[in-house]
Amino acid sequence: MLHLQLVSPERVLVDENVDEVQIPGRDGYMGILPGHAPLLSELKPGGVLSYKSAGGEKVLAVFGGFVEVQPDRVRILADAAERKEEINVEAARQELSKAVELDDIERAQAKIDAASK
């Protein structure tokens, strides 16, 4: 088991034991299992994080930050994050349309990806 902690400046989003974590790293997704080699990485500006535990798979949209991995724990300091169930898909689509006009689509696309996973 891994202990996963995910915090943003506003709140603690995850603080539980998990079986595995898929993390949107700056250069691609990382699959983390118990016993993983230690690492420190930047998070993708807009990505989907998922993890599996006894309660099934859970999904969040994560918007930048950093991750620290140790063999028995994963700590994520996110610039911002939202749980799948908190995302209003229609509002995220509208945000994506506005972002396309401003050439800033990563955040809006991450919300839509997380909500539809």
Q: Would you say residue 103 has pLDDT above 70?
A: no
Q: Which of 40-49, 87-96, 107-116 tops mean pLDDT?
A: 40-49
Q: What's the pLDDT score for residue 111?
A: 78
CB-side neighbour CA atoms (13 Å) of 13: 25
Note whether 92 and 115 are within 8 A (CB). Answer: yes
Provide the pLDDT confidence category of residue 70 given band limits of 50, 70 and 90.
very high
Length of the chain: 117
Provide the pLDDT confidence category of residue 49 given band limits of 50, 70 and 90.
very high
Note whether 61 and 54 are within 8 A (CB). Answer: no
Taking phi first (over 0 means left), then psi (-120 to 50 degrees means alpha), and beta for anything else, what does residue 14 get?
A: beta
Domains detected in the chain = 2-83 (2.60.15.10), 86-115 (no CATH)
